[in-house]
Amino acid sequence: MSSITAELLIDLSKIKKNICSLKSLIGKDSNFMAIVKSDAYGHDLKKLIVRIDDIVDAYGVVRLDEAVSLRRHTQKQILLMQGIYDDLEWNIVKDNSINFVVHDPIQFKFLERRYSGQKFWIKVNTGMNRLGISLDDLKKVLKKTHLQNDDVLMTHLACADIPDDELNLLQFANFEKAFSQLNCPIQRSILNTNGIINFPQHAYDWVRGGIGMYGGVHHPDLETAMTFRSQIISIRDIQPGDRVGYGGRQQAKTKMKIANVYVGYADGVPQNSIDGTKVLVNDQYAPIFGRVSMDLISVDISKIDNCKVGDWVVLWGDNISINKFAETNSLISYELMTKISPRVKKIFVEL
Ligand SMILES: *Cc1c(COP(=O)(O)O)cnc(C)c1O
- Catalytic residues, by residue number, are 37, 246
β-pair type (243-244, 345-348) = unpaired
Predicted pLDDT at 97 = 98
Neighbours of 279 (CB within 10 A): 26
Ligand 1 nearest-atom number relative to CA 216? 8
Q: At what angle are helices 45-52 and 64-71 packed, to 10 degrees?
A: 50
* CA 58/CA 36 separation, integer angstroms: 10
Ligand 1 nearest-atom number relative to CA 101? 13
Predicted pLDDT at 351 = 59
Ligand 1 nearest-atom number relative to CA 212? 9
Our mutation pick for probing the ligand 1 site, out of 152, 208, 211, counting the most ligand atoms within 8 A of Cβ, is 208
Ligand 1 nearest-atom number relative to CA 208? 10
Predicted pLDDT at 4 = 83
Our mutation pick for probing the ligand 1 site, out of 101, 122, 192, counting the most ligand atoms within 8 A of Cβ, is 192
| Confidence band for 5, pLDDT divided at 50, 70 and 90 | confident
Would the pTM of this model clear 0.85, i.e. be above it? yes
Q: Please report which residue ranges of the chain form alpha helices under DSSP H.
A: 12-24, 37-42, 45-52, 64-71, 87-95, 135-144, 166-182, 193-198, 322-328, 333-338
User: Letter for the amino acid at 277?
Assistant: T
| Confidence band for 350, pLDDT divided at 50, 70 and 90 | confident
Pocket-forming residues, ligand 1, beta carbon under 6 Å:
35, 37, 81, 156, 192-194, 208-212
Report the pLDDT averaged over residues 172-189: 97
Ligand 1: distance of its center to the CA of 115 in Å?
26
Residue 57 CB contacts under 8 Å (≥ 6 apart), including other chains: 31, 32, 33, 76, 77, 206
Q: What is the per-residue pLDDT across 47-100, written as a single tens digit (0 to 9) for each? A: 999 999 999 999 999 999 999 999 999 999 999 999 999 999 999 999 999 999
Ligand 1: distance of its center to the CA of 212 in Å?
10
Residue 177 CB contacts under 8 Å (≥ 6 apart), including other chains: 135
Ligand 1: distance of its center to the CA of 229 in Å?
27
At 89, phi and psi to the nearest 5?
Answer: -65, -35
Q: What is the per-residue pLDDT across 32-61, written as a single tens digit (0 to 9) for each? A: 999 999 999 999 999 999 999 999 999 999
DSSP 229-286: EEEEEEEEEE-TT-EESGGG-EE-SS-EEEEEES--TTTT--TTPPTT-EEEETTEEE
Our mutation pick for probing the ligand 1 site, out of 25, 81, 206, counting the most ligand atoms within 8 A of Cβ, is 81
Ligand 1: distance of its center to the CA of 263 in Å?
29
